[in-house]
């Protein structure tokens, strides 16, 4: 049985920028994904760090680049190595290994999810001990449940380095962490329509009281794609509880059932995506060894993503990611 170490993690929450600024640490390196959202810029300005770097993701097609230090790469967005090329080059060009014993913070509010998986994986694989992760919760999305987060889908594929595969597909399972973007959810369901065992993971409690209802309205039309509509729930702003919920579900399911390939689609909040990543970093090796479960993280890559969907700041969360705790599960 896999040791549940997720309850050893902690996070802090602040309701105002001033409260956040007064209580957060002083860092050696601060990394943030640049967007046109005021909430992202506000946190950047308040963080106390010796060095700050904006990441300019090509998927946003930004016309205005910040004057502060930034990292950008000219990569075609339909490149199948998009996220790994970007993060590997950033890691190398900035010689991030020299920060291994320093205080590092990453604000994932402006990140696109494949880059979250790709960059944090690099820190763990390069033997960093811990990093802090910031996520600012929006008070609302600009068009509520009709907010458009992405454009035309180019492909649904595995995120690089999270693409194990088992030739036996008889007992495949698909877990969709479903958020507002019904376009992305539908594309995953269509791409993996042959998988019979599908499970939804929803955010509850949501970031704001009305968001769960808006989410349920969005997914109303896909309920028939699930053999039994009995979703899992984890807090939309808690990666550690999200990891725990998925871990518990997989443990209980595999006691009586077989899984050949486990497909995971992180399509909801970024803290939940972070939780799915924690689950993988902690348990992927053990699940493959003990149950021969191959795990693939899938994502619908699109022509562009909205860089201004979130409005105002509700709360600012700081999650401490201690990689030594992850090792307790292996």
As a whole number of angstroms, the distance between CA 62 and CA 34 comes to: 9
Q: What pLDDT digit, counting tens, does each position of 77-121 carry?
A: 899 999 999 999 999 999 999 999 999 999 999 999 999 999 999
Of 54-58, 212-216, 321-325, the one with minimum mean pLDDT is 212-216
Residue 130 within a domain? yes
Torsional sign, CA 153, 88, 116, 245? positive
Number of domains present in the structure of the chain: 2
The Cα diameter of the chain in Å comes to 56
As a whole number of angstroms, the distance between CA 279 and CA 238 comes to: 13
322's tokens: 């201690």
Based on the domain organization, do 152 and 289 belong to the same domain? yes
Based on the domain organization, do 81 and 28 belong to the same domain? yes
Residue 172 within a domain? yes
Residue 1 within a domain? no
Q: Is the pLDDT of residue 74 over 60?
A: yes
Based on the domain organization, do 220 and 77 belong to the same domain? no
Q: Is the pLDDT of residue 165 over 70?
A: yes
83's tokens: 């996220």
Could you tell me the pLDDT band of residue 144, with boundaries at 50, 70 and 90? low
Based on the domain organization, do 98 and 223 belong to the same domain? no
Based on the domain organization, do 239 and 167 belong to the same domain? yes
Bridge partners, residue 310, by sequence? 141
Average pLDDT over every residue of 208-216: 77
As a whole number of angstroms, the distance between CA 216 and CA 179 comes to: 9
Average pLDDT over every residue of 209-222: 76
**DSSP-H helix ranges across 134-264:** 182-191, 211-219, 239-254
Based on the domain organization, do 63 and 186 belong to the same domain? no
Residue 117 within a domain? yes
Could you tell me the pLDDT band of residue 25, with boundaries at 50, 70 and 90? very high
Based on the domain organization, do 127 and 161 belong to the same domain? no
**According to the model, what pLDDT value does residue 319 have?**
98
- Dihedral (C-alpha) 153, 245, 260, 174: value to the nearest 10 degrees? -30
Q: What pLDDT digit, counting tens, does each position of 227-281 carry?
A: 667 899 999 999 999 999 999 999 999 999 999 999 999 999 999 999 999 999 9
Bridge partners, residue 137, by sequence? 315
Answer whether 132's CB lies under 8 Å from 120's CB. Answer: no
As a whole number of angstroms, the distance between CA 79 and CA 316 comes to: 33
Helix and strand counts by DSSP (H, E) for the chain? 9, 13
As a whole number of angstroms, the distance between CA 156 and CA 142 comes to: 26
Based on the domain organization, do 91 and 174 belong to the same domain? no
3-state SS assignment for residue 253: helix
Based on the domain organization, do 197 and 314 belong to the same domain? no
Within 8 A by CB and 6+ apart from 3, the residues are: 328, 329
Average pLDDT over every residue of 25-33: 98
Q: What pLDDT digit, counting tens, does each position of 290-304 carry?
A: 999 999 999 999 998
Q: How much is the CA Rg of the chain, to the nearest whole Å?
A: 19
CATH code of 251's domain: 3.40.50
CA 62 to the chain's CA centroid: 21
Based on the domain organization, do 88 and 172 belong to the same domain? no
Residue ranges making up the domain that contains 91: 6-141+308-327
Based on the domain organization, do 224 and 313 belong to the same domain? no
82's tokens: 């998009």
Residue 214 within a domain? yes
Answer whether 232's CB lies under 8 Å from 268's CB. Answer: no
| Interior/surface letters 268-277, b for 16+ CB within 10 angstroms, e for the rest | bbbbbbbbbb
As a whole number of angstroms, the distance between CA 328 and CA 330 comes to: 6
Q: Is 194 exposed, middle or buried, given 0-12, 13-18 or 19+ CB atoms closer than 10 A?
A: exposed
């Amino acid at each position: 049985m896999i040791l549940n170490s997720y309850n050893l993690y902690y996070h802090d929450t602040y309701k105002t920028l001033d409260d956040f600024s007064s209580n957060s640490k002083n860092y050696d390196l601060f990394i943030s994904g640049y967007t046109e959202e005021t909430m992202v810029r506000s946190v950047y300005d308040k963080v106390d760090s010796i060095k700050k770097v904006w990441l300019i993701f090509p998927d946003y097609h930004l016309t205005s680049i910040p004057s502060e230090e930034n990292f950008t790469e000219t990569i075609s967005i339909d490149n199948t190595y998009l996220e790994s090329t970007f993060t590997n080059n950033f890691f190398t060009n900035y010689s991030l290994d020299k920060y291994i014993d320093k205080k590092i913070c990453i604000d994932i509010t402006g990140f696109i999810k494949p880059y979250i998986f790709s960059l944090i994986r690099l820190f763990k694989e390069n033997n960093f001990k811990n990093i802090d992760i910031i996520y600012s919760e929006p008070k609302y999305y600009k068009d509520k449940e009709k907010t458009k987060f992405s454009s035309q889908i180019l492909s649904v594929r595995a995120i690089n380095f999270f693409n194990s595969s088992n030739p036996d597909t008889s007992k495949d399972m698909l877990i969709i962490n479903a958020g507002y973007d019904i376009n992305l959810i539908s594309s995953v369901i269509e791409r993996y329509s042959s998988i019979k065992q599908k499970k939804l993971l929803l955010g509850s409690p949501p970031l704001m009281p009305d968001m769960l209802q808006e989410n349920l309205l969005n997914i109303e039309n896909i309920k028939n794609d699930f053999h039994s509509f009995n979703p899992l729930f984890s807090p939309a702003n808690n990666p550690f509880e999200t990891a725990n919920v998925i871990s518990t579900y997989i443990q209980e399911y595999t006691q009586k059932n077989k899984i050949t390939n486990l497909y995971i689609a992180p399509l909801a909040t970024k803290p939940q995506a972070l939780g799915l990543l924690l689950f993988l970093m902690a348990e992927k090796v053990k699940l493959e060894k003990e149950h021969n479960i191959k795990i693939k993280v899938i994502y619908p890559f699109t022509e562009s993503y909205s860089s201004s969907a979130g409005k105002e700041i509700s709360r600012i969360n700081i999650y401490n990611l201690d990689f030594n705790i992850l090792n307790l599960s292996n």
